[in-house]
Chains A and B, each alone.
Chain A
Amino acid sequence: MTQSPLSEGVVAGRLDPAQLTENFGDLHPRLDNHEALVAADRCYFCHDAPCMTACPTDIDIPLFIRQIATGTPEAAAKTIFAQNILGGMCARVCPTETLCEEVCVREVAEGKPVEIGRLQRYATDVLVDANVHPFERAAATGKSVAIVGAGPAGLSAAHRLATHGHDVTLFDARAKAGGLNEFGIAAYKSVDGFAAKEVDWLLSIGGITVETGKTLGAGLDLATLSDTFDAVFLAVGLGGVNALTVEGSDKSGVLDAVDFISDLRQASDLEQLAIGRDVVVIGGGMTAVDAAVQAKLLGALNVSLVYRRGRDRMNASVFEQDLAASKGVRIITNASPKAVIGNGSVREIEFEYTDNDLNPTGQTVRLAADQVFTAIGQTLNAEGLPDLDGGKIAVTETGRTSVEGIWAGGDCASGGDDLTVTAVAEGRDAAEDIHATLMA
């Protein structure tokens, strides 16, 4: 190994392969059988359980945990998948500390929730690993539905529609299906190619044709889709990103965090992936944390995550913030970027301290930076789409847009948090509404 964390500039191979493998291993390894039984035993089987209400897909959590406790994780998996076909990914990526586990009565009473996410992972892995698909298609209806975007929202809708017997064509601009499950989620949350494996498993229901490399707005147009198919579901996510607009933002080394993560997720060999000695990430959400943590895990010496308001305003959960801190990421708050400094490529970045209402204080600070990753929000490329609301496609509860016959869900649609599980719920619910409409 010729490079180390101390090597100057942006270089690959700062850590030896064994260290990289360890760094990018499973964040929460799967529970073994004994651990799962012990964890399941803690569930009280609450009546009208708060965890169920907190889950955007309304998984019957007490029931699936009881099914684990009684030695039938396969039945538990079915309970989960019946509500959330991407229950395997959600078990890995859901911020459970702000969803089901936050309201677990044992969290409220003892500060120690039942480990719902890890139990969900335990159960769902049993069926996915065995490649057992627990659903069957209903008789063919002869109806066809186009879905644009093969991320969690699109996949969830496709599965539900296929189950009801409709023929689904799933278009995606990228070369691979999966959306941010494949390109965005932190590597240590979805190890061993799980995203791709889960997509294959989901598609084994049948009746879903995947067409990759097909982009709405460049080759595909909505009017044609509407004419050709009986219904259209838009699940294009948020493809655009907010760009950094301060002086010097165009210097090389300033990158979009989503692109950095996507390169990392698709890298066949992390040893070949270059990373700076000093990395600065701008933003306060999950993307910022993921970029900062993964930069650190690649071997960057110093990684700072800089957010313009106070900690309590950060979108990243306390768990995520603590994770970043535990990996050695320095979190700086109340600092807004002023200028990117450097000669061609970035060398430093200057921030001005701001109060929680973003009022400038006149005090500035400079951080050394070989790379700057910006994670200051994603946006919808809205051209040619139905009416918007707050920058996203306006939808009803069941995903209906302003245009008849076109539904939308997931990150691109209004309402709900930008989370994998929310996208799954919206895809499923839109699919049910499409089904009801087509069969009426």
Chain B
Amino acid sequence: MADLTSEFVGIKSPNPFWLASAPPTDKEYNVRRAFEAGWGGVVWKTLGSEGPPVVNVNGPRYGAIFGADRRLLGLNNIELITDRPLQQNLREIKSVKQDYPDRAVVVSLMVPCEEDAWKAILPVVEETGADGIELNFGCPHGMAERGMGAAVGQVPEYIEMVTRWCKQNTRMPVIVKLTPNITNVIYPAEAAQRGGADAVSLINTINSITSVNLDAMSPEPMIDGKGTHGGYCGPAVKPIAMNMVAEIARHAETANLPISGIGGVTTWRDAAEFMALGAGNVQVCTAAMTYGFKVVEEMISGLSQWMDEKEYSSTSDFVGLATPNVTDWQYLNLNHITKAVINEDDCIKCGRCYAACEDTSHQAIEMSEDRVFSVKDDECVACNLCVNVCPIEGCITMKTLEPGEMDERTNTPVSAEYGNWTQHPNNPSAQAAE
């Protein structure tokens, strides 16, 4: 079996699956059971300053959207940081870390944007024996209204300043958790790097309203007739999170900044994808909240099977392997030509490909009297829509035309040369290829 041990900013864990800072990591009881179930590490639910803890709403704090068969695809929450006393959390962190020295225990923090507040909390966290800290600059609701969380994460200068305070006042590695509620994730990532961050983690949750109660005319979750935007997470946010991870990983200035990938990780494959894009490990919240801690067993067995098949001996072998292949649109090879192919044996004749192509795309699918569907190569632009709407995996595939083959749509032979937009004759600012 492949070796899943992982080292992230010097923090070792038996596998790269950490629980993200959230309810699953809010107390010793949970974290012990998570470790027993096999999780490699946790980021403890965000702690605030000493003093009266925050209070949460006492009505529903979650909303959700579902796929077929009521599969939870997206979760939204209006929960705040931990509402348990600081000292109790610290005691519990210390006790868990003592009993599980091989697991990663990172403590998430969010205190007011004043150096003294950070100076006060860092030593007491250090004293627990925790492996590192994560700065929660992401919480998009409630805390942001009080000038913390996303309110910091949306201002690169604040990120840099707070990160620097932390680096100056603790020996623990500092991970900066980024909010996706920004225009360009590079700015906060660069700010964290300037402040001396050991790593960034992303994403925190996305501002969202998941549903509206049409009788009460209120967003949900609804508290006494009113709702507020909450943080969106779960499988639905994975594409957004992966893009942000990839952007940081391929950006020259931040390319060497370690990344902990978060957002919708539900299976081993999700984790492998995040890591291929440059994340050194992953954090999980919604999958655990949906299926329980045991879900990590599949992540472990699946990742190690895949690594064995690919002959990767350690997780670091494949981290970032996909990063160089993330590029800008303008560099995509416009001479690469594919055509959709419908496998008649697999086709169940539902006609969804036809509807999609005929009504909304390029009228490139033909439907016979007896419901045989075939692609018209002279019309197909290879958009992939038919592949995506077909209910049968693998029934419609894309065939690559070899150089020299005729593209019947354009009546030109396929070129063997790489040619992108920057060189294209239709591009007014193209440099003529020499």
A-side residues, CB < 8 A to B, are 33-34, 37, 41-42, 45, 47, 62-63, 66-67, 70-72, 74-75, 78-79
Contacts and interface: CB of A to CB of B under 8 A. Distances in A.
Contact of A75 (B294, B302, B394): B302
Nearest to B395: A34
A45 B269 contact: no
B292 A67 contact: no
Contacts of B268: 70, 72
B291 interface: yes
Nearest 4 pairs of A and B residues by beta carbon: A75-B301, A70-B267, A72-B302, A66-B298
A41 to B, nearest CB: 7
A38 B301 CA distance: 21
B306 A72 contact: yes
Contact of B305 (A41, A42, A66, A75): A75
Contacts of A71: 269, 302
A63 B293 CA distance: 12
B297 interface: yes
Contacts of B346: 34
B393 A37 contact: yes
18 contacts: A33-B393, A33-B394, A41-B71, A45-B294, A45-B295, A62-B294, A63-B294, A63-B298, A66-B298, A67-B298, A67-B302, A70-B267, A70-B268, A70-B269, A71-B269, A72-B301, A72-B302, A75-B301
Contacts of A75: 298, 301-302, 305
B156 to A, nearest CB: 38
Contacts of A42: 69
Given A41-B69, A47-B292, A72 B393 contact: no
A71 B69 CA distance: 20
Contacts of B334: none
B392 interface: yes
Nearest to A47: B292
A66 B394 CA distance: 20
B284 to A, nearest CB: 14
A33 B395 CA distance: 12
A34 B390 CA distance: 12
A42 B69 CA distance: 8
Nearest to A67: B298
Contacts of B302: 67, 70-72, 75
Contacts of B297: 63
A63 B268 CA distance: 13
A115 B346 CA distance: 22
A78 B301 contact: yes
A74 B393 contact: no
Contact of B392 (A34, A62, A66, A70): A34
B295 A67 contact: no
Contacts of B294: 45, 47, 62-63
Contacts of A34: 346, 392-394
A67 B69 contact: no
Interface residues of B, number: 19
Contacts of B269: 70-71
B40 to A, nearest CB: 18
Contacts of B295: 45, 66
Contact of A74 (B71, B267, B305): B305
Interface in B285-303: 291-292, 294-295, 297-298, 301-302
Nearest to B306: A72
B392 A45 contact: no
B252 to A, nearest CB: 35
Contacts of B392: 34
Given A47-B292, A72-B306, 13 more contacts: A33-B394, A34-B393, A37-B393, A41-B71, A47-B294, A66-B295, A70-B298, A71-B269, A72-B302, A72-B305, A75-B298, A75-B301, A79-B301
A215 B205 CA distance: 69
A70 B394 CA distance: 16
A63 B298 CA distance: 7
B308 to A, nearest CB: 9
A70 B292 CA distance: 17
Nearest to B292: A47
Interface string B41-65: 0000000000000000000000000
Nearest to A65: B298
B291 A45 contact: yes
Contacts of B298: 63, 66-67, 70, 72, 75
A315 B42 CA distance: 52
B78 to A, nearest CB: 26
B194 to A, nearest CB: 39
B291 A67 contact: no
A94 B268 CA distance: 31
Nearest to B293: A47
Contacts of A66: 295, 298
Contacts of A72: 268, 298, 301-302, 305-306
A67 B393 contact: no
Contacts of A79: 301
Q: Point out which of A42, A62, A66 has the most chain B C-beta atoms below 10 A from its C-beta.
A: A66
A42 B67 CA distance: 12
Interface string B292-329: 10110110011001100000000000000000000000
Contacts of A62: 294
A27 to B, nearest CB: 24
A367 B5 CA distance: 71
B242 to A, nearest CB: 17
Contacts of A45: 291-292, 294-295
A44 B71 CA distance: 9
B141 to A, nearest CB: 29
Contacts of B267: 70
Nearest to A49: B294
Contacts of B71: 41
A42 B267 CA distance: 16
B217 to A, nearest CB: 33
Interface string B402-425: 000000000000000000000000
Nearest to B300: A75
Contacts of A33: 393-394
A37 B394 CA distance: 13
Q: Point out which of A42, A70, A78 has the most chain B C-beta atoms below 10 A from its C-beta.
A: A70
